[in-house]
Structure 1
Amino acid sequence: MSDNPLIVQSDLTVLVDVSAPRYPDARDALARFAELVKSPEHIHTYRISPLSIWNACAAGVPIDEIVGALADFSRFAVPAHVLTQVRDFAARFGRVRIERDPASLGGEQLLVFTSDAVLAEELCHGKQLSALLTERVWPNCFRIRQIDRGRIKQGLIKAGFPAEDIAGYSTGEALAVTLRTVTRHGVPFALRDYQDAAVQAFHAQGGDRGGSGVIVLPCGAGKTIVAMGAIAAVQANTLILTTSVSAVRQWIAELLDKTGISEEMIGEYGGATKAVRPITVATYQMLTHRARTSGEFTHLALFDERNWGLIVYDEVHLLPAPVFQITATLQARRRLGLTATLVREDGREDDVFALIGPKKADVPWKVLERQGWIATAVCTEVRVPLPEAARLPYAVAESRHKFRIASENEEKTPVVRDIMARHAGEPALIIGMYIEQLETIAHSLSAPLITGTTAQRKRDLLFEQFRAGLIPALVVSKVANFAIDLPDASLAIQISGTFGSRQEEAQRLGRVLRPKAGANQAHFYSVITADTVEQDFALKRQLFLCEQGYEYAIRDAAELRVDASGGTGS
């Protein structure tokens, strides 16, 4: 039909015309089995991949529904080989099934079934699985230990046969949790529709298909609230893992504000305080601490301290390797991952699928922006020339040092002042990577600086003063990239970053996306040195945001300075 929104292409990409009448229904159908790649104004691009189809299968989407949606919403005939490939991808999911062994004492052993004996033979001779599939019960069945459940799933997905895990979960120690209808601060509170849908998709009424998975929502859209909804659904002791002590305390404040959990039931595990309680919040850094490089991880035993019914992984795209490792042995516990993007710079998205679970919810950033749930953001790249004195050192430097010379360009400091003048009165974050550069800018702006060496007490005080409007601007290092709630920040100026990290770009924009009173408007500036490797890396960094539908205006420093002197600009 000519007014249908989808154009399915031979390379498994799907173009979506957002102006077509059936676009909303097509988008909702497509989101279940394809990954959004780009979402500019008029034509969105999705990609069908083995992992996207396996995500759909794990969520219980029938293959006939996937094929039917492609045919129903497509403007032209769907290429036959695309439908064949989609069916082939789906056919691989569930050819291996993990179930609890009813004959084992206490359910400590599991059974791995394959669809046929030939596949069983292939898997048990494979490099990654041979050491685990040692006890063959029947030609197509192996008995494994509970502790090997995660490692088996990792090996299977890398072999191209993701397991359907229906062995279920331990209930954990019970804990009565209710969500407030009015927060402690007297504000009416309820889950938004998309937050409630995410909770229901994760929990699945407590069935075998629920209890593990990842929620993908932009910063400021309330991932913490989704997690609280999941805790209330599970009604059990919960371990929450996050990125910093500041984030730990924000979690605790949110739990006290929006649930009926009392203060003595919540434990902070980190630094000087290591309280393990029915709800315990800890940092990844604490869990991966060890006295020496080759030593044991000191605090991984926290995973076994209580009978947890749920483990929440905040910013799951940052999950460190040791936590992946211990999570492989924790497959009997429910697991919830939270993230703004499943992009991992190390390419371990399939491990997130295998060990945490499939994607359960993913709402496009621009959809939430249009609905007013996150701020409207204007992104601008400001290009600054390299000073004459730095040109020769840059020319002869090695590639890695070239990036640092460009990143620390001293001409960025006056540009930051110009941007601040352009947005006078707006709460601002200046974010960078190099400490000396941050110190220089903090001194120039007479603004406080927060780095990794800033004492936690001072850090918390400065964040609180910023929230209260007592500090108009904060200069921050990478410590503010993740899980810091600064709702009033409406201006972010990025002066240096981690090479081409798309993940970091998304997180830094997220610092200013929380909804705001009035125009609900945010501005995100990246200040980069023109005609250098930093400009090349900036393009890679912007890729993720461009794919989410954001556009970058390109300005040069001189043009910005003229605008700033004449008014606030746009």
Structure 2
Amino acid sequence: MPNPLLPLIIQGDRSILLDVHSPDALEARFALIPFAELEKSPEHLHTYRLTGLSLWNAASAGLTAEKIITTLHRFARFDVPPAVISWIEETFGRYGKITLTACEDPAFLYLTAESERIYRELKAAPKLSKYLLAAEKPHSFLIALLNRGTVKQVLLKMGWPVRDQVPLKDGAPLAIPLRTQTKKGMDFSIRNYQREAAEAFTGDKGPGTGFGTIVLPCGAGKTIVGMLVMSMLNTDTLILTTNTAAVYQWKRELLDKTGLEDDCIGIYSSDSKEIKPVTVATYQILTWRPDTESEFPHFRLFRERNWGLIIYDEVHLLPAPVFRITAELQVIRRLGLTATLIREDGCEGDVFSLVGPKRYDVPWKELEEKGWIAHAYCTEIRIPLPVSKEIEYAAAPLREKHRIASENEAKIEVARQLLMRHSEDQILIIGQYITQLKKIAEAVHAPLITGKTPNAERESLYEAFRSGSISVLVVSKVANFAIDLPDASVAIQISGTFGSRQEEAQRLGRILRPKERNAFFYTLVTRHSVEEECADHRQKFLAEQGYAYSLITDTDMQLNLPLCAPSLKNS
């Protein structure tokens, strides 16, 4: 019998409606996160969707079809359509039906299908024909070792996620002990979920483990998970990250929390080209080349040492050229770290097949409730466009409409009011357009960091912010990723990339480090403009994680209505 109090409506097209007013809505939301993707999140009904990739990530993380079906039955308002149940079982059943195993000839691997039917499907596939060689082993092909990643990519697109059971090489040995007390004299210990994440990746160090992606919120200690994995594997490690500031941040953390000495850690960036047993490099330097026809000269870094582990920090930003080299590097253990697997280019499947499937995930709100990340309040403030800009906006093409709305000068006064309200907080003002950022930095008398700010000056400003000698910092999108500013408790987002969900997640992450204060995330949006639609799209990821946006107008501010809850110490 239908139960109107239950929160989920599962439909035959594999979409799932979540009634946010149901008493069990929050519990159902957390239950959906490991195996369903959020599509829409308006006020009353959120829409999720089951996809092959979402189920295969769930399978790789240890979920079963039975557990997912049980979850759907538990929260379903109406009967779960039998066709959806059959599709879940069939989709789960495809995971691991094709395996990769070692061959007597080390230059080749066996690609083995579980049945004659699957074997014949692979044999007939045009996109696979140039990679498959005949093998005497039943239902098997030989593939060249260097084609290991590429074949996994092709098979995933055909709907066949491969279970890769080829042993990985150990790499050069390197002792990487973790400290129990940091160099700064602080006690240091591993949290339970960080250990669970590392163990989900390393497993028993046997076939089928040692490659995959860990998904944790910003502020939850992804860097620590990476260091813990390094200490478990004790091998030469290459760490790839997003920018030079993040490179130096990794080095600081390694020196502070491991037994590695300075001469063991190399920096490979535009400023320095050191290759050491542990080397930290930027994606930008790896993907540089003199012209579009040339090779990537810095790819030699991948072959320079006998690496036993490659860590891809912010793996959701992995650029296409690095994907290509990663397709060849399937013999090395590969760890992806991210707060969100969302890629706006739709290449989540490449992360799955080349770096590895999702091995561990935890809802942001779950860590917030336990006090491991700050409690966050999210508010969208809608501001009218000045009358003087209305005709220009109306006549502009779509892209220019976005810029006019984003650079609405009325946002500067609203930002100034927010600064007064949070005068005791450490505040980041984040935006997309440099002209706009320069104006607001001048208006509020705060320093500005953009992509053109020299690295030494950036580090100096970040350090001044960390120490509290400056309390407001205006930053462009260079600060979206991998920047540790633990005392930041307020972020004011004045403009952003066209509806990027990953950017929204990363920007909120700048203020989620655990602290004595709650965190406040404000987004300033021009009312009745294309910015409203983009803002709705951006907020999907946070809605999936359990965050709710309150919506106010600048009129509310002028009336001095409260914008936020009182600051409370996290338990």
Same fold (TM over 0.5): yes
- Kept in 1: contact 2:176–2:258 (CA 8 A): yes
| 1:368 counterpart residue number | 367
* Deviation (angstroms), 1:44: 8.8
Within the alignment, does 1:553 sit opposite 2:550 as a pair? yes
CA distance in 2, matches of 1:216, 1:494: 24
> Which range moved further: 371-380 or 81-90?
81-90
Cα distance per residue 1:145-167 (max 9 Å; x no partner): 11100000000000001111101
User: Partners in 2 of 1:277 and 1:354 — Cα distance?
Assistant: 29
Aligned to 2:283: 284
Tell whether the 8 Å contact from 2:441 to 2:474 is kept in structure 1 after alignment: yes
* Matched-pair contact (CA < 8 Å) for 2:99–2:111: yes
Number of aligned positions between the proteins: 563
Question: CA offset at residue 65 of structure 1?
Answer: 5.3
Name the residue aligned to 1:89: 91
> Counterparts of 2:365 and 2:44 in 1: how far apart (Å)?
12
Structure 1 residue 8, shift from structure 2 partner = 7.0
- SS of residue in 1 equivalent to 2:385: coil
8 A contact 1:120–1:139 mirrored in 2: no
Query: 2:7, 2:25 within 8 Å by CA — same for their partners in 1?
Result: no
Measure how far apart 1:209 and its partner are: 2.5
Decide whether aligned partners of structure 1 residues 252 and 43 sit closer, same or farther in structure 2, where only a CA change above 3 A counts: farther
Alignment-derived partner of residue 328 in structure 1: 327
The 2-side partners of 1:45 and 1:57 are apart by 22
User: What are the within-5 Å matches in structure 2 for residues 348-387 of structure 1?
Assistant: 348-387=347-386
The aligned amino acid for 2:538 is R
Which SS does the other structure have where 2:289 is aligned?
A: coil
Provide the residue aligned with 2:302 in structure 1. 303
Q: Which residues of 2 match residues 123-142 of structure 1 at below 5 A?
A: 123-137=122-136, 140-142=139-141
Aligned match of 2:58: 56
Query: In structure 2, what is the equivalent of residue 526 of structure 1?
Result: 523
Secondary structure of residue in 1 paired with 2:177: coil
Contiguous gaps of at least 5 residues in structure 1 = none
Separation in 2, partners of 1:337, 1:214:
4
Whether 1:420 and 2:422 are equivalent positions in the alignment is no
CA distance in 1, matches of 2:253, 2:144: 38
1:228-280 CA distance string (max 9 Å, x none): 11111111111111001000000111111111111111111112211111111
Query: Secondary structure of 1:436's match?
Result: helix
**1:37 Cα shift?**
7.0
Instruction: Indicate how the Cα distance of structure 1 residues 17 and 423 shifts in structure 2: closer, same or farther if over 3 A, else same.
Output: closer
Q: After superposition, where does 1:396-415 map in structure 2 within 5 Å?
A: 396-415=395-414
Q: Which amino acid aligns with 2:458?
A: R
Contact 1:312 1:337 in 2 (8 A): yes
| Offset at residue 551 of structure 1 (A) | 1.7
Give the aligned partner of residue 569 of structure 2: none
SS of the aligned residue for 1:164 comes to strand
| CA shift for structure 1 position 393 | 1.1
**8 A contact 2:376–2:512 mirrored in 1:** yes
Q: Which runs of 5+ in 2 are unaligned?
A: 567-571
Residue of structure 1 equivalent to 2:10: 9
Residue 519 of structure 2 aligns to a residue whose secondary structure is strand
> Cα deviation per residue 1:323-352 (whole Å; 9 max; x = unaligned)?
111111111111111111111101111111
Residues in 2 aligned to 1:266 and 1:47: alpha-carbon distance in whole angstroms: 44
- Post-superposition Cα deviations, 1:303-339, rounded to whole Å, max 9, x if no partner, equal 1111111111111111100011111111111111111
Query: Given residue 529 of structure 2, which amino acid in structure 1 is its aligned partner?
Result: T
Contact persistence 2:17–2:45 (CA under 8 A): no
Identity over aligned pairs, percent: 51
Tell me the secondary structure at the aligned position of residue 297 of structure 2.
coil
1:474 shift after superposition: 0.7
Deviation, 1:73, is 7.8
Contact 1:203 1:211 survives alignment (8 Å): yes
Counterpart mapping for 1:197-208 below 5 A: 197-208=196-207
Residue of 527, 532, 535 corresponding to 1:535: 532
Amino acid corresponding to residue 10 of structure 2 in structure 1: Q
Q: Following TM superposition, by how much is the alpha carbon of 1:75 offset from its aligned partner in structure 2, in angstroms?
A: 8.0
Please say which of residues 9-18 and 530-539 is displaced more in the overlay.
9-18
Inter-CA distance 225–146: structure 2 relative to 1 (3 Å threshold): same
Conserved in 1, the CA contact under 8 Å of 2:416 and 2:444? yes
**For 2:380 and 2:46, how far apart are their aligned partners in 1?**
23
Q: 1:549 to 1:263 in 2, by over 3 A?
A: same
Mean CA deviation greater in 551-560 or 351-360:
551-560
1:363-422 deviation line (CA, Å, top 9, x unaligned):
111111111111111111112221122111111111111111111112211111111111
> Partners in 1 of 2:189 and 2:133 — Cα distance?
50
Find the counterpart in structure 2 of residue 217 from structure 1. 216
Query: Does the CA-based 8 Å contact 1:4-1:73 persist in structure 2?
Result: no
Cα pair 1:133 1:142 within 8 Å, conserved:
yes
RMSD: 2.9
Other structure's SS at 1:374 match? coil
Letter aligned with residue 9 of structure 1 = I
| Change over 3 Å in CA distance of 1:533–1:481 after alignment to 2 | same
TM-score scaled by length of structure 1:
0.92
CA 1:18–1:170 in structure 2 vs 1: closer, same or farther (change >3 Å)?
A: farther
Q: 1:554 to 1:14 in 2, by over 3 A?
A: closer
1:76-95 deviation digits (Å, cap 9, x = unpaired): 76543333212201221222
